[in-house]
A and B are shown apart, each in its own frame.
Chain A
Amino acid sequence: MKIIVLIKQVPESTEVRINPETNTLIREGVKSVVNPFDTYALEEGVLIKERLGGTVVVMTMGPPQAREALQDAIALGGDEAILLSDRAFAGADTLATSRALAAAVRRLEPYDLIICGKQAIDGDTAQVGPEVAELLDIPHVTYVRRIRELEPGRAVVERMVEGAVETVEMSLPGLITVVKDINQPRIPSLKGIMKARRTTIPVWTPADVGLPEEVLGLRGSPTTVEKIFVPQVERRGEMIEGSPEEVAEVLLSRLQSVGVL
C-alpha cells in the first residue's frame, strides 16, 4: 500500500496574543508542532504499513521551518517526506492550499490512500481534505474513527456523524480524514529520530508541481481575511439579589420570558 499523509505545522497553543496596534498575531515565542489531529493520521498510515507493507509519504505546505514537522513525522514512522515551500504558496486559503497539495500528490501516483487529520487546530476549517479529494477526483470520507477493511481498491470505514456512526464502503484510491478515536499515536523512537536526521527532504516549488503561480497563494485564493479581532465577551448583565427563594423566583421568571421552561 502506498499511503500519503498530509500534515500541517501549527502553533502549539491556540492561546494567541494579538498586537492591538497592527491587529496582527504575535507569533514570536510560540513553539510549532505537528497539528495534533495529523498525528493520528500519521499513526494510522504507519499502522497500515506495518500490517500490510508499503510506504508512507508525508507531505506539507508551509514556510521553510515546516521541515521540522516533516522530520518529526519521519521520526514517528514516515518513510519519505516532501515540503512544498515557496513565496508563491504564501497566503493561501483552503482552496489554494488544496490545489498545491493535490498537484503534488499527482506527482506521486499511483497511491492507495490519502490520510488527513479531521482539521487543523489553528484554522479549524476541516476543508482541505475534501477539497484535495475533489481536485484529485477521488472519493473521500470524513471523521473516520476506524478502518474496518482495507484491500487494494476498496476500504470499509466507520464515520462519526451527529449522534450516530455510519459504515461506509469506498473505492480506492481515496482520502479519509480521521478523528482521535482511531488510534493512540506512538512516541518517536531513537531509531526514528536518527532516521529523521539522515533523511533528505526535497522542497517542491510551483514549477515542481506544475501549477502557475496565479492559482496559488494569496492571489489564487478566492477568500481573503479582512480583519481579525479578539472576541468581546462582555455582556451587560442583571444582578439578581435577595433570599435564595427570591432570586430563584426572579431567575425562573426571566427564563420563562425567554422561552425556557
Chain B
Amino acid sequence: MAGDMSDLIRVLADLCTGCEACVGVCPTGAIQMREGTARIGDACNLCRACVSACPAEAIEVVVTGRGEVGEGQGVWVFVEHRRGQVAPVVYELLGQARRLAESLGTQVTAILAGEGVAPLAAELVARGADGVLVVEDPALGDLREEPVTTALADLVGERKPEIFLFGATALGRSLAPRLAARLGTGLTADCTGLDIDPERRVLVQTRPAFGGNLMAVVVCPRHRPQMATARPRVFRSLAPDPSRQGEVVTFPVDGSRLLGRTRLLEYAEEVIETVKLEDADIIVSGGRGLGGPEHFQLLFELARLLGGAVGASRAAVDAGWIPYYHQVGQTGKTVAPKVYIAVGISGAIQHLAGMNSADVIVAINKNPQAPIFKVANYGIVGDLFAVIPALIEGIKRRRS
C-alpha cells in the first residue's frame, strides 16, 4: 500500500514551515519530514492532533463524501420498552444526552418506535428530551431488529442526527450493530464514558475491554451518526421535571417496508427468587474473611433489609461456601450497583474488575492493609462479626 492519505488529510506545502511540531504530537508516528515538508503516511488515524499543533495552519482534514462531517445535528436516544414500560437505561441515556447536547449547542430527541407507544412520550420529555419522534406500526410492536432497523435508518436518513445512543441491553447490543452496518457508520459498544471534544466536535467514547483490565478511548471522526451503546447504571438519570416542554412528532412510515424474518413466539420471565445480582442497587458481598459458609447468613440478612443481593469473591466461591452465580469479578459477574459493601474481601484486581464502577464502595475488613480500602469510599477496619450485626440493628432501629 502506498502511504497516501491525501484524500483524507493533507499538508499544504506552501504554508508548511518545516518546524516539525506535527511530527512530535502524532500519536501513531505517521508524519515524516521529506524535503523540509511534513508528509502524512497511512498510519494516520485522523486524530487531528497535528492540525491543532501546527502553528502555520498548514494541515487540513479533507471532508470527503464518505465522511460528511458536520452534516449531523442533534443527539438521539433510542427508547427501549417492553409492555408499556420504558427501560431504565433510557432515562440514564437521556440524562447523559442532555450534557452532550448542551456542549454541542443542540437538542436531545428520544426515538420512540413501537405500537401504541405515544403515551410514553411525556415522561421522556420530563426526563430530558427536547423532542420525541414517534414511529408507530404493528410491525414494530415487539421491537424486532429488522423492521426497527429499517424504520430507524429511514429516520436517520431524513433527520441526520450527529449522535445516536442505545442502551447496552440484549436488544440494544443486537439492534445497534444491525443499524450501524445498514448506515455504514461506527458503533462503540458498552461505553462507560461519553464526552464531547469541543475542538473536533466529536463524541469521545470510553469503554472497557479485556474484561475491564483496559479502557479504550474510541472516536468515529468521519461518519455520522456517531453511534454508541452505554451500559445500564453507568449514567445518572435526571429527576423527572413535569414542567419541561417538548415537541412530540409522529413520523410517518410505510408499513409494507418493515419486513422482518424473525417472529417472537413466546416471552417467559424467568423465575428469580431473590434480586438478580446484575440488577441490584445494593450488593453485600462476602469473601474469605467470613471464615465459613454459615456466615453468609449474616450477609443475606443485611442484603434483605437493604433490598439488595448477595455477592461473593472468587475465594469464597472456590472454597465452596456459596454457588458460582454469586461470584463478582473478572471470571464472575460485572456489577455496577449504587452501593457495594465488600465484607471480608481483600480486593484482588480480578475482583475489583467486576465491581469498581459501583457508585459507592464500602469495605469492611480487619486488615488495614487490604487493597480493597484503596477503592473504598468508606472503609471500616474491624471485626465483621461485630460490625454487620450492628448495621442490621441500626437499620431495624431506623425503620421502627
Report which A residues bind B (CB closer than 8 A).
14-16, 18, 25, 87-88, 93-95, 98, 121-131, 133-135, 138-143, 156, 159-171, 174, 213, 218-219, 221-231, 233-235, 237-241, 244-245, 247-249, 251-252, 254-255, 258-261
Contacts and interface: CB of A to CB of B under 8 A. Distances in A.
Contacts of A258: 338-339, 359-360
Interface in B197-227: 204, 208-223
Interface in B321-344: 330, 338-339
26 contacts: A14-B211, A95-B186, A127-B177, A131-B178, A141-B262, A161-B170, A164-B268, A165-B270, A167-B265, A168-B263, A168-B265, A170-B263, A213-B1, A227-B27, A228-B216, A229-B214, A233-B374, A234-B375, A235-B376, A237-B373, A237-B375, A237-B378, A237-B379, A245-B390, A248-B387, A261-B398
Given A16-B213, A131-B178, A247-B387, A221 B186 contact: yes
User: For chain B, what secondary structure do more than half of its interface residues adopt (helix, strand, loop), or is it mixed?
Assistant: mixed
A77 to B, nearest CB: 27
A231 B212 contact: yes
B281 interface: yes
B182 interface: yes
**Closest CB pairs A-B (n = 10):** A222-B186, A223-B186, A248-B390, A139-B261, A134-B181, A14-B211, A244-B386, A125-B189, A167-B266, A130-B177
A58 to B, nearest CB: 22
A260 B211 CA distance: 29
A169 B218 contact: no
Given A127-B177, A229-B214, A235-B376, A261 B187 contact: no
Max count, chain B CB within 10 A of own CB: residue among A131, A162, A164, A234: A162
Contacts of A125: 189-190
Contacts of B188: 223
B149 interface: yes
Residue of A169, A238, A261 contacting most chain B CB atoms (<10 Å): A261
Contacts of A240: 378-380
A177 to B, nearest CB: 8
Interface stretch (B9-17, B39-47, B243-251): B39-47
Contacts of A124: 189-190, 208-211
Interface of B: 1, 27, 42, 45-47, 145-146, 149, 169-171, 173-178, 180-182, 184-190, 204, 208-223, 260-270, 272, 276, 279, 281-282, 306, 330, 338-339, 349-350, 352, 356, 359-363, 373-383, 386-387, 389-391, 393-395, 398
A140 B267 contact: no
Given A126-B173, A133-B178, A163 B378 contact: no
Contacts of A227: 27, 216-217
Contact of A230 (B27, B215, B276): B215
Count chain A CB atoms within 10 A of each CB in B1, B27, B180, B373 and give the residue with the most.
Answer: B180
